Amino acid sequence: MSDLRVLYVAHNHPTLHPGGAEAYSLELYEAMRRQPGVEPVLLARIGSNVARRRVAHPGTPFGSVNDDPNQYFVFTETDHFDFFTLTSRDKSLYSRHLTDFLLAQRPDVVHLQHTHFIGVDLLSQIRRVLPDAAIVYTLHEFLPICNHHGQMVRTFADELCPEASPRRCNECFPEISPQSFFLRERFVKGHFASVDRFLAPSAQLMDKYLRWGIGPQRIEVEEYGRLMPDRRAGDPAQAKSPANIGFFGQLSHFKGAEVMMEAMAMVDPGVDAHLWLNGANLELQTEEFQEEFARLQEGLRGRVTFRGPYEHAELPKLMEDLHWALIPSIWWENSPLVIQEAFFHRRPIICSDIGGMAEKVRDGVDGLHFRGGDPVSLARTIERATTNPRLWRSLREGIEDPYPMDAHVSKLLGLYEETIEQRKGVAVSA
């Protein structure tokens, strides 16, 4: 029997843009490459917002990433992407170039990690070009549902949004008509109709897509599998109190940057608590945000240390001094990878009591919840956490190992086979 050919489509390549979904896409590709009988191909989007200059060759958007003949870039102009309708204005990207790519590669399965900057049109074009191929789509956020950066947070007052509708979306964007939101939804769902199976890394994310209208028979929860580093971070030096808290990720509004800074300012001066910021992309945030952040940082010199951006491989080292990981996001999140990473290194987590965080971190078992978006609640939680070594030790005991990549890979391979079989049924009955 010939190898199972699986094409992974990602909206970025981790060598160009560090990010959770990107890192996971490459890890999954590499894990699949080690599987006998599987030939994975990775197609990662590249464009002017991540590359310094146009890198495509004349006449084709495709190019190699490195020596690996199965990794490709596809160049798309950022300007050509319609962020509202999630489609490329250059339709020859689908009708010509991606079609040629699909015809040349002939994958049995196309597993999309994202369609951002490429466009949802790819989904129905895959179906047209390769009627037998199984199409699997992992959902990482709410971009298909929500025009507000896919966060499902209202544009006013940071209110969490449980559900989209043309009327509600128009409330968030008064300048965009309900009719436009209706068309957006119809367009995205029209292309989503070609997908055989959606995967949601968290149940709360799946719930929102179910409510949006993806049929329950087409979607299921499948957590990210992770390749974990060779070693776990050592234990922090024995001190009087578990005082060191680490934040990892983008310093942005939705990630709760202001909430955690305000909370640190409220922590009782007698409590020994210190926040270590391992964050990137501050320079990409709005000027207002950067000023606000600088202002908050100013009064917190003794309490907060900014360690700057980090490489994924440095994580064990960075975790070494820390007792806690903090995830103060004010949006739902999906399944934050930092949870798995912190748990692998046996660090309990302090997080907002909403969405994927509340789902993946068990309050009082392997972490502590605080009221999402509320700096007072976070300050009190930090005080409780950092002054209570026994609590810290008991939460550590409650941590379980994250979902391993091997299990994830077997699960996916089973799912691919099953979907291919289902498609044969479709082809026969049609």
Partner 1 sequence: MPDAVKAKNGARRRSGRAEEQATRLSPDVDLVVDAGAVELRKSRTAGEPDGSLKALLREELAALDADRRNEISAELGASPLVGEHPSLPLSGSLYEIREVLRERLPACAVDARQPVGLAIEQILAIDERSFWVSGWMHDEDGEGAVTLVSPEGVRVEVTKGALRFERPDVVQFYATLRGTTRNHGFTAFFELPAPSLLTDGWIAELQTSEGVAVEIRCPAVVVDPLAIRATILGELGNRGPVGGELAAEHGRHALTRLQERIVADSEVESVDLYGELPSEPVASIVIPLYKRLDFIEHQFLQFSTDPDFAGVELVYVLDSVEQKDELAAKARELFALYGLPFKVVNLTAGAGFAGANRHGIEASTAPQLLLLNSDVIPDRPGWLTAMREFYEGQEGIGALGPKLLYEDDSLQHAGLYFHRAPGAELWENAHCFKGLHRAFPAANVARPVPAVTAACMLIDRERYEEAGGLPLHYVQGDYEDSELCLRLSKAGYENWYLPQVELYHLEGQSYVADTRRIPSEYNMWLHSEIWGRRIEELMAEFDPFEEGDPIE
Binding site for partner 1 (CB under 8 A): 54, 57-64, 67, 69-70, 72, 92, 95-96, 100-101, 103-104, 106
Shorter beta-carbon distance to partner 1: residue 96 or 312: 96
- Measured from the CB of residue 80, what is the shortest distance to partner 1 in angstroms? 15
Shorter beta-carbon distance to partner 1: residue 101 or 324: 101
Q: How many CA atoms lie within 13 Å of 428's alpha carbon, on the beta-carbon side?
A: 6
Shorter beta-carbon distance to partner 1: residue 65 or 199: 65
Q: How far apart are CA 256 and CA 253, in angstroms?
A: 5
The residues facing 323 across adjacent strands are: none
Can you read off the two tokens belonging to residue 311? 């490489």
Can you read off the two tokens belonging to residue 317? 């080292």
Closest CA to 334 of 212, 151, 93: 151
Q: How far apart are CA 49 and CA 19, in angstroms?
A: 14
- Measured from the CB of residue 29, what is the shortest distance to partner 1 in angstroms? 15
Amino acid identity of residue 407, one-letter, is: A
Query: How crowded is residue 296: how many other Cβ atoms within 10 Å of its Cβ?
Result: 17
Shorter beta-carbon distance to partner 1: residue 56 or 120: 56
- Measured from the CB of residue 114, what is the shortest distance to partner 1 in angstroms? 20
- Measured from the CB of residue 68, what is the shortest distance to partner 1 in angstroms? 8
- Measured from the CB of residue 54, what is the shortest distance to partner 1 in angstroms? 8
Amino acid identity of residue 248, one-letter, is: F
Shorter beta-carbon distance to partner 1: residue 67 or 288: 67
- The C-alpha angle 317, 318, 323, rounded to 5 degrees, equals 110
- Measured from the CB of residue 70, what is the shortest distance to partner 1 in angstroms? 7
Residues 6+ apart with CB under 8 A from 115: 9, 11, 86, 122, 123, 137
β-pair type (87-88, 81-82): antiparallel
β-pair type (62-64, 71-75): antiparallel
- Measured from the CB of residue 59, what is the shortest distance to partner 1 in angstroms? 6
Shorter beta-carbon distance to partner 1: residue 96 or 295: 96
- Measured from the CB of residue 101, what is the shortest distance to partner 1 in angstroms? 8
SS3 content of the chain, % helix, strand, coil (to 5): 40, 20, 40
Shorter beta-carbon distance to partner 1: residue 69 or 216: 69
Question: CB of 47 within 8 A of CB of 151?
Answer: no
Shorter beta-carbon distance to partner 1: residue 56 or 379: 56
